[in-house]
Structure 1
Amino acid sequence: MRLLRLWPDESHFDFMRFRRLTFPLSAVLSIATVLLFLTVGLNFGIDFKGGTLVELQAKSGEANIAEIRHTANGFGFGEAEVQELSGQGNVLVRLPLQAGEQGQTAVMQKAHAAFDAGYDFRRTETVGPRVSGELVQSGTIGVVLSVVAVLLYLWFRFERELALGAIVGTLHDIVLTVGIFIITRIEFNMTSIAAILTIVGYSLNETVVVFDRTRELMRRYKTIPTVELLNLSINSTMSRTVMTSISSSLALLSLVLFGGEAIHGFAIVMLAGVVICTYSAIFVSTPSLIYIGLMLSGAKSAQRDSGLAQAAE
């Protein structure tokens, strides 16, 4: 019985020819993400900016969004954000952060007084300024330390050229993942940090698989051209890459469709992250070795020529 082949065993597809397109594309997307981050910013959730979040379920089965927004804005606590969820009559109301515990308590008292008659309170969350500040600090430190640890692992795991290529790919994946949050306006909260760290791990896994094969082929074929070597590395691991990407995407797609609102944003970002990491391992990390290798070779040649000149003098 012949097993299913997701990628031909003897494939010789030329992936490296696309580098002249994918490199400028990734550069433009990365720069655009940085600019959007500085100008538009992330849609921080209640975890990071504080405030009160209330999830309402209409008793009649149908929620009046305009009326809820008008009522919440009339509380006198600032502009409220009202979002209709996927469930029928299910609404999410975010109210701005108030000073002190008494301010936050007053928000909940007015919310219950205004909505108890027509809505059930399914969920309430209140985060004060101190807690939100601590969460921002802890989340930032956690992400930075995790990324630094991954980059150090890559530096010691591979030779210098391969390590630099892996670092380029990992940073590329992090930046574009943040871009997904900015463009879609998915709420950025503690779950989002978990999504970013998971994507970093997935990116690392994809890159290590390809680069392990690259290093193995470098020892086996010592005179093969760089472009041909990299194409051979990708083609020989493509069956595994396709299998991993498809299985991960199917699992995440089921979470997007049936996982509920609590993990909906996380699942969307993870699904986009799998696509980004797969693209990056093939069209960013691996092709970057061509340019990194040329640069290092040129630098070594220059140092050797400089040393010979000094010896001659």
Structure 2
Amino acid sequence: MSDLKIINFMGQRKIAAALSVLLLLGSIVSLTMNGLQFGLDFTGGTQIEVGYEQPANLEQVRSQLQAAGFESAVVVHFGAETDVLIRLQRGFEAGLGDEILAALQRDSGHTVDLRRIEFVGPQVGEELRDDGGIGMLFALVVVMVYVAMRFQFKFSVGAVAALIHDVLLVLGVFSVLKLDFDLTVLAAVLAVIGYSLNDTIVVSDRIRENFRKLRTETPLEVINFSLSQTLGRTLITSLTTILVLLALFFFGGEMIHGFATALLIGVLVGTYSSIYVASNVLLTMNISKEDLMLPVKEGAEVDDVP
């Protein structure tokens, strides 16, 4: 081996596996009992635009609506800071606009104008949700086939295990914290799948390469060496991505807050899973040099095989 400092990642694999199992069980229990807090994109609801004479304080608007019984209202600026968009998970009702205006004007001293009120139908229906679930299962099968063809079957099991691990943990956090799950969050979950798969492919490629180069080391030593080699690249990629997501999280506004939250969680668990899930699965399935040796051509000596 080179002078690279080898970190014994796999020495903690049993602790990491126990932690992953606990987190997955917690996510599954929460998703089963609490489900997801679907936003208007999935449920439909009422959208109300109001105008203020001065820049509106969104926190005060939320507090006023909560005090009036509209606890799940989503409040964001709509264009100028004097324009506010309110989204409610309830159907259109006669007098709803007057209730909202009364709640916003109560004890505020501000004049509030009702600009428009409309019912928004769900953009994602039950049929589309079901089709999306089937599509995601099909995508996982395609990923497994692709990784199996490019690397080896045991690598494909590790890659799919890491993807399922990451998606369930992101959904579990949203379920436990009862955060709104809308189309932007769904887009973030899909992005997490791509990020996690890319990270896992990079690590798998290095593991395969080192299994063919390092003939005397054990599988555990080869995997630790490979993870140590890719650690710098993994940390730089993750940290630069996290910096951008933190900027979106704090300064991107309410509309993409869920998107940034989901991606932040996804990047963290995706980095973890490429080390302690995908690689752990390889050791659990007893990956060996024989699994990755190139086939010997007829008439070639064994020592001639790269």
TM-score range, shorter chain: 0.7 to 0.9
AA at the equivalent of 2:24: S
| Aligned counterpart in structure 2 of residue 19 of structure 1, from 13, 22, 38 | 13
Show structure 2 runs of 5+ residues with no match. Answer: 106-110, 291-306
Greater shift in the superposed pair: 250-259 or 145-154:
145-154
Corresponding residue for 1:68? 65
Corresponding residue for 2:283? 290
Corresponding residue for 1:128? 121
- Aligned-partner Cα distance in 2 for 1:135–1:269: 21
- Aligned-partner Cα distance in 2 for 1:293–1:49: 46
Q: Note closer, same or farther for the CA distance 1:131–1:193 as it changes in structure 2 (3 Å cut).
A: closer
- Aligned-partner Cα distance in 1 for 2:123–2:185: 20
After TM superposition, the structure 1 = structure 2 runs for residues 295-306 of structure 1, keeping only pairs within 5 Å, are none
User: Whose helix fraction is larger, Structure 1's or Structure 2's?
Assistant: 1
Which 4+ stretches in 1 moved above 4 angstroms?
Answer: 55-60, 64-67, 83-94, 107-117, 120-125
Residue 48 (structure 1) aligned with residue 42 (structure 2) = yes
AA at the equivalent of 2:262: V
Provide the TM-score with structure 2 as the length reference.
Answer: 0.77
| Fraction of identical pairs, as percent | 35
Query: What is the count of residue pairs matched by the alignment?
Result: 278
Q: Note closer, same or farther for the CA distance 1:199–1:67 as it changes in structure 2 (3 Å cut).
A: closer
Corresponding residue for 1:281? 274
8 Å Cα contact 1:51-1:127 kept in structure 2:
yes
Show structure 1 runs of 5+ residues with no match. Answer: 1-7, 74-78, 99-103, 298-313
Root mean square deviation of aligned Cα? 3.4
The Cα offsets for residues 244-277 of structure 1, whole Å up to 9 and x where unpaired, read as 1111111111111111111111001101111101
- Aligned-partner Cα distance in 2 for 1:53–1:91: 11
- Aligned-partner Cα distance in 2 for 1:92–1:228: 57
- Aligned-partner Cα distance in 1 for 2:116–2:21: 42
Once the two structures are TM-superposed, the CA of residue 181 in structure 1 deviates from its matched residue by 1.3
Q: Note closer, same or farther for the CA distance 1:41–1:120 as it changes in structure 2 (3 Å cut).
A: farther
Provide the TM-score with structure 1 as the length reference.
Answer: 0.76
Residue 30 (structure 1) aligned with residue 27 (structure 2) = no
Corresponding residue for 1:82? 73
- Aligned-partner Cα distance in 1 for 2:275–2:237: 14
AA at the equivalent of 2:263: M
Residue 176 (structure 1) aligned with residue 173 (structure 2) = no
8 Å Cα contact 2:10-2:280 kept in structure 1:
yes
Greater shift in the superposed pair: 174-183 or 25-34:
174-183
- Aligned-partner Cα distance in 1 for 2:188–2:231: 25
- Aligned-partner Cα distance in 2 for 1:161–1:284: 12
Once the two structures are TM-superposed, the CA of residue 290 in structure 1 deviates from its matched residue by 1.0
8 Å Cα contact 1:230-1:287 kept in structure 2:
no
Corresponding residue for 2:143? 150
- Aligned-partner Cα distance in 2 for 1:133–1:241: 38
Q: Note closer, same or farther for the CA distance 1:264–1:219 as it changes in structure 2 (3 Å cut).
A: same
The Cα offsets for residues 256-309 of structure 1, whole Å up to 9 and x where unpaired, read as 1111111111001101111101111112211221111179x9xxxxxxxxxxxx
